[in-house]
Amino acid sequence: MRTHLARARFAALAVLLVLPACAGLQPDYKKAGAQQLNGAEVSSLLSGKTISLSNPRGRSYTNTFTPDGRVTVSGSKANQSGRWAVVGDRYCLTLDEDQRQQCMDIYRVGDGTYQMVNADGTLRNTFRVQQTQAQ
């Protein structure tokens, strides 16, 4: 009986020690202090800018956004181009090679870092604005 009680106490202690670590695993956009951008903020953040992104699989690339709605994606398997727009409060991308529109929410997660989140709530990428393009 004492062995069962000791095991139960040990298991409860292990759970209490692991829970804070699990909270640290959640994406930054779900943490306190993260702010979802509205449409005007998304447009201002991206228009005429280049951003440096990394996805959850560790792949890095850049996106360059022109004020007239064109986007160039560099550093992926091959350079791609397409169109970008803000629809409501979401950033939407349509690549020339794949006409399916992909829309994402953008969150400011602190210290100049942002995260794009897919419609299903999964993290798409983390990025920083690198430079302003000539307009």
pLDDT tens string 50-70: 999 999 998 999 999 999 999
- Tokens 């990428």 correspond to what residue? 125
In three-state form (DSSP H/G/I as H, E/B as E, the rest C), the secondary structure along 13-68 is: HHHHHHHHHHHCCCCHHHCCCCEECCHHHHHHHHCCEEEEEECCCCCEEEEEECCC
pLDDT the model gives residue 21: 43
Burial of 87 (0-12, 13-18, 19+ CB in 10 A): exposed
Return the minimum-mean-pLDDT range out of 24-28, 57-61, 71-75, 109-113: 24-28
pLDDT the model gives residue 29: 86
pTM across the whole model: 0.77
Measured between alpha carbons, how far is 45 from 65 in angstroms, rounded to an integer? 10
CATH for the stretch 29-132: 2.40.128.270
